[in-house]
Amino acid sequence: MACRQFDKAADAISLPEAIRDRTKYPRRCLAVSLPVKRDDGSVTVVEGYRVQHNLSTGPAKGGIRFHEHVTLGEIGALAMWMSWKYSLVGLPYGGAKGGVIVDPSKLSETELEHLSRRYMQEMVNFIGPHTEVPAPDVGTNEKIMGWMMDTYSNHVGHISPAIVTGKPIAIGGSQGLREATGAGGAYLVKKYLADLKIPLSKTTVAIEGFGNVGNETALAHYGAKIIAISDYTGAFYNAEGIDLSRALKYVRYQKVLRDFDGAEPITNKQLLELKCTVLVPAALERVITDKNAAKLKCRVLAEAANGPTTNAADKIIDARGNIELIPDVLCNAGGVIVSYFEWLQNLSNFYWSRDEVLTKLFGILDQAKDAVDTQQKKFQFSRRLAALTLGIQRVADAKATRGLFP
Ligand code: NAD
Choice from 67, 69, 231 to test ligand 1 binding pocket (greatest atom count within 8 A of CB): 231
Residue 220 pLDDT > 90: no
Q: Please work out whether the CB of residue 302 comes within 6 Å of at least one atom of ligand 1.
A: no
Percent with pLDDT over 90 in the chain: 98
Nearest alpha carbon, ligand 1 atom 29: 305
Q: Strand pairing of 204-208 and 28-37?
A: unpaired
Tell me if 231 CB under 6 Å of ligand 1: yes
Counting from 1 in the atom list of ligand 1, the atom nearest the Cα of 235 is: 20
193-218 pLDDT, tens digit per residue, is 999 999 999 999 999 999 999 999 99
Residue 212 in contact with ligand 1 by CB distance below 6 A:
yes
- Catalytic position from the list 24, 85, 97, 225: 97
Which residue CA neighbors atom 42 of ligand 1 most closely? 335
pLDDT at 406 over 90: no
Residue identifier of the C-alpha nearest atom 16 of ligand 1: 232
Domain map (residue ranges) of the chain:
28-171, 180-326
Query: Ligand 1: which of 70, 89, 97, 138 to mutate, judged by most atoms within 8 Å of the beta carbon?
Result: 138
Q: Band of the pLDDT at 405, cuts 50, 70, 90?
A: confident
Please tell me the distance between residue 273's alpha carbon and the centre of ligand 1 in angstroms. Answer: 19
* Distance (Å) from CA 271 to ligand 1 centroid: 16
Rounded distance, CA 61 to CA 109, Å? Answer: 26
Q: Which CATH architecture has domain 180-326?
A: 3-Layer(aba) Sandwich (3.40)
Q: Counting atoms of ligand 1 from 1, which one is nearest the CA of 139? A: 2
Same fold, 28-171 and 180-326: yes
Is the distance from the beta carbon of residue 207 to the nearest atom of ligand 1 less than 6 Å? no
pLDDT at 195: 96
**Given a cut of 90, is residue 48 above it in pLDDT?**
yes
Q: Could you tell me which CATH number the domain at 28-171 has? A: 3.40.50.10860
Averaged pLDDT, 57-80: 98
Query: Does any ligand 1 atom lie closer than 6 A to the CB of residue 185?
Result: no
Confidence class for position 221, pLDDT limits 50, 70, 90: confident
Query: For ligand 1, what atom is nearest to the CA of residue 180?
Result: 40
Q: What is the pLDDT of residues 107-153, one digit of tens each?
A: 999 999 999 999 999 999 999 999 999 999 999 999 999 999 999 99
Pocket test for ligand 1, best of 137, 207, 289, 339 (most atoms within 8 A of CB): 137
Comparing CA positions, the residue from 188, 186, 159 lying closest to residue 171 is 159
pTM above 0.85, yes or no: yes
375 lines ligand 1 (CB under 6 A): no
Does the Cβ of 286 fall within 6 Å of ligand 1?
Answer: no
Does residue 333 line the site of ligand 1, with CB under 6 A?
Answer: no
Nearest CA to ligand 1 atom 40: 335
Average pLDDT, the chain: 97
Tell me whether residue 97 is one of the annotated catalytic residues: yes
pLDDT category, 223, cuts 50, 70, 90?
confident
Say yes or no: CB of residue 335 within 6 Å of ligand 1: yes
Alpha-carbon distance 74 to 80, whole Å?
Answer: 10
pLDDT at 252 over 90: yes
